[in-house]
Structures are given as C-alpha cells and as structure tokens.
Amino acid sequence: MTRPRSRRGGGRPTIADVARKAGVGAITVSRALREPGRVSEDLRRQIQAAVDELGYVPDPNARALASARAEVFGVLVPSLTNNVFAEVVRGIYDSLSDSPFRIQIGNTHYSGLEEERLLQVFGSQRPAALIVAGIDQTPSARRLLENAGCPVVQVMETGPDPVDMMVGFSHFDGGRTATEHLLQAGYRKIGFIGARMDPRSQRRLAGYRAAMEAAGLFDPRLVTTTPVPSSVSLGRELFRDALAKMPTLDGVFCNNDDIALGVLFECHRASIDVPKQIGVVGFNDLDMMQVSFPSITSVRTHRYEIGTRSVAMALAAIAGNPPEQRVVDLGFELVRRESTAR
Amino acid sequence: MTRPRSRRGGGRPTIADVARKAGVGAITVSRALREPGRVSEDLRRQIQAAVDELGYVPDPNARALASARAEVFGVLVPSLTNNVFAEVVRGIYDSLSDSPFRIQIGNTHYSGLEEERLLQVFGSQRPAALIVAGIDQTPSARRLLENAGCPVVQVMETGPDPVDMMVGFSHFDGGRTATEHLLQAGYRKIGFIGARMDPRSQRRLAGYRAAMEAAGLFDPRLVTTTPVPSSVSLGRELFRDALAKMPTLDGVFCNNDDIALGVLFECHRASIDVPKQIGVVGFNDLDMMQVSFPSITSVRTHRYEIGTRSVAMALAAIAGNPPEQRVVDLGFELVRRESTAR
DNA sequence: CTCAATCATGGTAGCGCTACCATTTGTCTG
DNA sequence: CAGACAAATGGTAGCGCTACCATGATTGAG
C-alpha cells in the first residue's frame, strides 16, 4: 500500500513515458536508441518523435546499472597543467565528443598510490575503457588494470610488456637523439637539465647519458636535476646552478621546453650567445619554440595523436576488433633550429 | 523460475555481501558508509572490517540511481589546453580530491551550442553541482542551468545577474588598468593585440578602449584582433600586422601572455627595444612573465583560487549553507616589470 | 513504574534501465 | 501449403543501492 516515490527524479521523463507516448513497449524504445537497426523504420520515427517532444535523455546511471557497463572512459594523468598531458587529453576529448562516451579524468599527481586509489574508484564504475599515462604502474595498480574487465591503453611511452595496449614513443631514444644532435653540431660539454624527474624524464636522461658515454664525454657533474615541478623560472635557476658547477658548459639538453625557455632567457640576461657559446635543445616542441629568438631546437612529440590514437584503439577493442598491433610507437622528430646552429 | 542473472557485474562484492559478512542488514552498511554517526561504534567497526576484507567499493551508478543524485561535479570549460582554464580545473580537482565527488569535464570549444548539448548530457546525470566558465550563456543554456536542481557556479568573470553563484573578476577593469599603466608610463600610441576574441577578451578590449578614450588617444587602427586561437607564434604575427598598420606604435596591451611573449620575441628579432621603444603588457601573469628578458608586466589573475573558491561555495550550498555573498570578486593585480619601465 | 520520545536497526519497494527470454508475425523452402 | 526459421516486439525480473517506513530497545520525564 505504499504509493510510488512521487518521482524523486525531479520529474524528468523516463523511458516509460516515451514508450507510452509512442505507443510501444519500453524495451523497444531502449532498442531504438541503442540498436536502431533492430527496430522497424516506422516505430523508430515514432519513438524519435516522442523523444524529441518530451526532451527525453537516457539516465546514464540507470543504464550503467542495468547493463553492468558505463559509457565512460577513465583517463589517468599525472598532471593537468602540464602542457603535454593537456594535449593528450584534448586528443581524447576530441575523439570522443561525437560518441556516447563520457570521460572521467583522474589526476594522480605523479603518485603511484594516488593512481591505485583512482583505479579503485574508476573500477567501481565499470568503465568502457581505461587510458593511463605511463608504463610504470605499481604491481597493485597493474593488477587493477588487468582485472578491469575493459580495454586498457597505456600512453606516452612504449615498453615491452603492455597490460593490454600501448601508444607512445621511446623517451630514451628521444633523449639520445637530442644529445647526438648537439654532439654532431660540435658541442662537447653538454649538460642535462631536468625538473620533476618522473620515469619518462629518467629515460630521457638515460638516453642523454648513453649518447654522452658513447662519445666518451659523460660526466655526472653535467647533470642537473630536481624533483620540483618544472617551470620556465625553474629552468633559469637550474641553468645558473649548472653553469656555476661547470662554467665551461657549451650545450644543454633540456628535459622539456619550459626549461629550455628558461635557459634561453638566462642566456639573454647574462649575454651568453645562443648558439655560439651554448647550444640549447628542448623537448616536446611547443609552439613557442619556433617563435623564440633564437628559435629553439626541440624534439617534437605527437601528443595530440597519442590521445586520438589511444581512443581509436580502445574503441576498436570495445567493438570487438582489438588491433593486431598492440604497441604503437608514434615516434618523434628532431626539429633543428637556430639554438643549435653554429 | 528464472535464476538470478549470475552476477553480470563480474563478481565484485555488493553491499549485500558486506552485510552478510558483517551480520547486519544491507541498509545498515549503507548508513555506516554514508552517515557513520548514526550507526553504533560496534557495528561500524564490524562493517568496516567486512568492507576491507572484501575490498568493497560502492557502485556509484546504483547509488546515483537510488538517491536521484550523483556525486559528480559537472565542469564546463571552453578549452582544455588554455593555461588559464587548466589552472581553474586544477583548483577544482585539488579541492575535490578528498571528497567523494567525481568530476566530469566538458569542453565547449567556445561554442554556445556545444555548451547547451553538454549541459543536456550533464543534466541527465543529476550532478551534485555545476561549474561553468563565463557568464554569457545562451538563453537556452541559462534555462538548463536554472533548472539543473543543483548549485551552479559561474566562474572566470563577475557580472550583475548570476544564475546562482559567481566567482571571478572584472576583465573590463583588468584591461583598463593595464592600459592606464601604459599611459602613466608615458606611452601614447598603445595598441591592443588579441586572438580568440571570446567574451572575456572583448571586455578586456572594452576596458582598453575606455582608458584610451578617456585619454583622448583611442584610434581603431590601434586594435588588432583575430578569432583564431591564441598562441605565441600568432602573437608575433599579429604584432607585425599591427606595426605595419601603425608604425609609430609605442606600446601594446596584449590580450594574454602568449601574445605578449610573441611580441617580445618579435621585438628581439627586429631589434626593437623593450621597454624603450615599445612597452608591453600581458594578461594572466604566467610564470614565464617574470623570467623573460626583459621581464613582462602583466595582470595577475587568480585562476587556481577561482577553482578552489567555486568548489568551496558549491560544497557549502550542497551542505545547505549557501554563501551569503553569491558573487565573489577575486580581483587581479597589475605586476609591473621591465617591459614597461622606461 | 508507566508512557512517550529517542535511538539503533531492519524490511520493503522502488530508482530507470536493459538482459533474457517469450511471443507474434512474416518469409522462405520443399 | 505445411513446417521451419528469421525478424520484430514485448514482458518480466533484476542491476546495487537508498528513501521511506516499521520495529524493537533504550532512555527519561512525571
């Protein structure tokens, strides 16, 4: 004898309202919306009319509960302000904007523990796919990914042992290529400057080191790093530190473009000629690298494409066509500019 | 005689499992998790133990369906890569990271239609709160916000007619202040350079114009704008256009710091002395403004705080204590630097 | 010591949707 | 033209959780 809970939903139309108005069963409305091919032309039109008239929008919560699958992409990135991840995320958004999938972003703040916590939270939603930055998950996070029951794409890097799929490039090779370029240009005392030494930065450093060692020029005093988050002003400071430590420095491979810009500005200020006295190479090739004076050589990475490609792979897997190539290396390009042209 | 749908959920524990293990009713588990104060110390511990042992995580979809309210903050921004919004979003994330609320971001791409569409989608989820950038919603979007049935915070700007709450500052005043500073420094032929002339940019331009007119110095040929998205390289190009149009230019107020940086680089390249020949002012005061050579005067805005403050206001409203002051002006500060010191 | 008020706990009935059948209708084969 | 089969539609029973009410235990006032 309980009366129905008088529309706690706040009165928005439900699938039953649409069904009534269209004179069909609720399930047919559901089908018309999700698998239009399985409903006759006639009914489909009728139902669409009812939907439009009522302004019906399916409740994703009810949908997820009933189908045990939410139309959500979970995305885990270590930072929201870092331009690099922002571009990846933009690629993901653009690729999904016309799909029914929503996006849930988690910010791990470069913390493995936080990543685990967020995977736990995401998992409880039964997402349609997970896209996570990096390949260095904790064992526990890796287990959560393996048991997620949905396609998983690790992005930003490639590596030997994907949880499921991967899209990225080799940071080691990027670091090595940048350093070799400086060597070929005739620089010898080449420093490495890096902030926020996350795993990707570490691998770029390793690439730098490999190149320097191969040339018999590696010296630990050439390396200046800090765990502090990267910024242009930090780049300037680190460069000053590096110069103080090693006044004969004649080149720097900067872990990213912000740092490189900071270096460039400090050179201006200290009247150090770039590229004559010091060669500068950045990483990522942000727009401003080509504009700065002098323009800065940088390693161009395909961040937006990493986003779009990872979505494409996940969508294919959801549709039942997991891509044959589970690890996609999008590579990078060294863009030579004035800052290393001497 | 239908057997239950053998755990379509994929076997993760439900509230019933926890209840059984703890020897209590399901509803008590639900309460222990949401309103611990209403469950006795004893049971609470027992339940917590069962939760930990089973690794139970509540299903947010079921929760949202049953309570007609999702623990989701909907956030609508016009761009994901624009540093300004990225900072606001970061503030929002940081403020909510310890709460049960998830965040759903929508990218409107500066389009009113897209904003409407996203509000529709968000609305179907019954979010706990909505945070939207800007105050220039279409009438239809405004209606959607008014009927959202949850706290709404408009951010980035302040204005006379909030849907519910507002956090921001006056872009008009910002533009005027920047321009007045240039005037006071003795510059006369002051140009305005702006890309992506969204409503906020328009108001900064209006502020610039007001200051110039008050000084009897306004000339439409001093204004150079484009609807193209902003970038450092675009700043350089627009500055060249501006100079070509008005070779006697002796100052520029740039609609944002990217543009200002592009202007600075072009000045370097063309051997134009900043600040002697040309004064440059930016907007937002990104980190690099203080590092560049010369350092660039800019209008510092409190982007991160806009994010944190908007969340605080929304949370208060959710808790039933809507803030007395519904429109919060966080202001801005003109930071004087070398680029206008002549 | 009684009775009302309070507190702690539980049962039931949905929230809005879809998976899983069942049913009806039309279509083709032999 | 019967029988088999596919296509189109519908009914029922949950998905996992919480709102609402009911119940029993405890407390305090008179």
Residue A292 structure tokens: 């700065």
Give per-residue pLDDT as tens, A63-79: 999 999 999 999 999 99
Give per-residue pLDDT as tens, A184-225: 999 999 999 999 999 999 999 999 999 999 999 999 999 999
Give per-residue pLDDT as tens, B3-30: 444 444 457 899 999 999 999 999 999 9
Q: Which of A6-15, A134-143, B132-141, B306-315 has the lowest mean pLDDT?
A: A6-15
What architecture (CATH level 2) is domain B171-300+334-340? 3-Layer(aba) Sandwich (3.40)
In the structure, how far is the CA atom of residue B4 from the C1' atom of nucleotide D14, in angstroms? Answer: 7
Which residues, at least 6 apart from B41, have a Cβ–Cβ distance to it below 8 Å? Answer: none
Mean pLDDT, all residues of chain A: 94
Strand C bases contacted by the protein (CB, 7 Å): 8-20
Burial of A262 (0-12, 13-18, 19+ CB in 10 A): buried
* Nearest CB to B265; choose among A65, A258, A291: A291
Whether B15 sits with its Cβ under 7 A from any strand D atom: the answer reads yes
Q: Mean per-residue pLDDT for A131-141?
A: 97
Cα of A143 to nearest chain B Cα, Å: 14
Residue A25 structure tokens: 């069963």
Tell me the chain B residues in contact with residue A102 when contact means C-beta distances shorter than 8 Å.
Answer: 104, 121
Closest nucleotide to A42, Cα to C1' = D8
Banded model confidence at residue A10, pLDDT cuts 50, 70, 90 = low
pLDDT at A331: 98
Name the residue in chain B with its Cα closest to that of A268: B293
Sheet containing strand A165-169, edge to edge, reads A102-107, A72-77, A129-133, A152-157, A165-169, A327-329
Query: Is the Cβ pair A232, B126 closer than 8 Å?
Result: no
Give per-residue pLDDT as tens, B184-234: 999 999 999 999 999 999 999 999 999 999 999 999 999 999 999 999 999
In the structure, how far is the CA atom of residue A43 from the C1' atom of nucleotide D3, in angstroms? Answer: 30
Q: Which one of A111, A288, A298, A308 makes the best mutation probe of the B interface by having the most chain B beta carbons within 10 Å?
A: A288
Q: Are A113 and A141 in contact (CB under 8 A)?
A: no
Domain ranges of chain B: 15-58, 70-170+303-331, 171-300+334-340
Tell me the chain A residues in contact with residue B90 when contact means C-beta distances shorter than 8 Å.
Answer: 80-81, 107
* CATH 1.25.40.10 describes domain B70-170+303-331: no
Its CATH class, for the domain covering A15-58, is: mainly alpha
Residue at the smallest CA–C1' distance to nucleotide D18: B66
Give per-residue pLDDT as tens, A301-326: 999 999 999 999 999 999 989 999 99
Distance from C-alpha of B67 to C-alpha of B61, rounded to nearest angstrom = 10
Distance from C-alpha of A304 to C-alpha of A316, rounded to nearest angstrom = 19
Its CATH class, for the domain covering A70-169+303-331, is: alpha beta
pLDDT at A5: 43
Name the residue in chain B with its Cα closest to that of A232: B288
Judge whether residue B271 has pLDDT over 50. Answer: yes
Q: Mean per-residue pLDDT for A141-170?
A: 96
pLDDT at A287: 96
Distance from C-alpha of A295 to C-alpha of A60, rounded to nearest angstrom = 49
What architecture (CATH level 2) is domain A171-301+334-340? 3-Layer(aba) Sandwich (3.40)
- The kind and range of the H/E element at A120 are helix A112-123
CB contact burial B168-178 (16+ within 10 A = b; e otherwise): bbbbbbbbbbb
Burial of B59 (0-12, 13-18, 19+ CB in 10 A): buried
Tell me, yes or no, if the two domains A15-58 and A70-169+303-331 fold the same way. no
Tell me the chain A residues in contact with residue B59 when contact means C-beta distances shorter than 8 Å.
Answer: 65, 124-125
Tell me the chain A residues in contact with residue B88 when contact means C-beta distances shorter than 8 Å.
Answer: none
Judge whether residue B259 has pLDDT over 70. Answer: yes
Give per-residue pLDDT as tens, A217-256: 999 999 999 999 999 999 999 999 999 999 999 999 999 9
